[in-house]
C-alpha cells in the first residue's frame, strides 16, 4: 500500500521559509507593478493637475509683469492656446472612443501640451527679466 506523501510537512523548516519567502516576493512584486486602467487614469489626472497648477502659477507671474497692452495680448493668446489644447487633445483621444484607454490618452496629451506651454511662458518670463 502506498503511503500518502505530505509535501508540505516533508519540507524541512529552512525550505519552507525559502518557499514562503519566494511566494511572498512574487505576490508583492506583482501587486506593486499591477495597474488597472482606473489607477492609470487617476495618476494621469494628478499629473495633469500638477502641470496645470504650474502653468497657472507661471501665467499669473508673467501677467503681473506686463503693461496693459502686453497683458491683453497674452490673455488673448492664452485663450487661443486653451482652444488649441482642448481641440488637439480631443483629436488625439478620438480614435480610442469606446475604449477604456481614451481618458488616459486625453489626460496625457493635456499634460504634455500644458508642460510645453509652461516652458514657453517661462521663456517669456526669462526674457522680461533680462
Which residue matches cell numbers 509652461? 118
* CA–CA dist 99, 78 (Å, integer): 31
Is position 50 within any domain?
A: yes
* CA–CA dist 87, 80 (Å, integer): 11
What's the total number of domains in the chain?
Answer: 1
Is position 103 within any domain?
A: yes
Work out the mean pLDDT of the chain and round it to a whole number.
Answer: 85
Is position 40 within any domain?
A: yes
Q: What is the pLDDT of residue 129?
A: 81
Residues contacting residue 82 through CB under 8 Å, at least 6 positions apart: none
Is position 8 within any domain?
A: no
Is position 18 within any domain?
A: no
pLDDT digits (tens, 9 = 90+) for 77-121: 999 999 999 999 999 999 999 999 999 999 999 999 999 999 999
The CATH number covering residue 98 comes to: 1.20.1270.180
Is position 77 within any domain?
A: yes
Q: What is the pLDDT of residue 67?
A: 96
Is position 21 within any domain?
A: no
Q: Which domain holds residue 71?
A: 36-128
Amino acid at each position: 500500500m502506498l503511503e500518502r506523501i505530505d509535501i508540505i510537512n516533508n519540507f524541512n523548516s529552512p525550505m519552507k521559509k525559502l518557499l514562503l519567502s519566494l511566494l511572498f516576493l512574487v505576490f508583492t512584486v506583482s501587486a506593486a507593478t499591477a495597474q488597472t486602467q482606473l489607477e492609470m487614469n487617476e495618476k494621469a489626472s494628478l499629473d495633469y493637475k500638477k502641470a496645470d497648477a504650474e502653468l497657472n502659477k507661471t501665467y499669473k507671474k508673467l501677467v503681473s509683469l506686463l503693461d496693459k497692452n502686453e497683458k491683453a495680448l497674452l490673455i488673448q493668446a492664452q485663450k487661443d492656446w486653451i482652444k488649441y489644447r482642448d481641440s488637439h487633445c480631443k483629436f488625439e483621444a478620438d480614435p480610442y472612443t469606446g475604449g477604456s484607454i481614451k481618458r488616459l490618452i486625453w489626460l496625457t496629451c493635456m499634460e504634455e501640451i500644458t508642460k510645453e506651454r509652461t516652458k514657453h511662458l517661462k521663456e517669456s518670463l526669462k526674457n522680461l527679466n533680462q
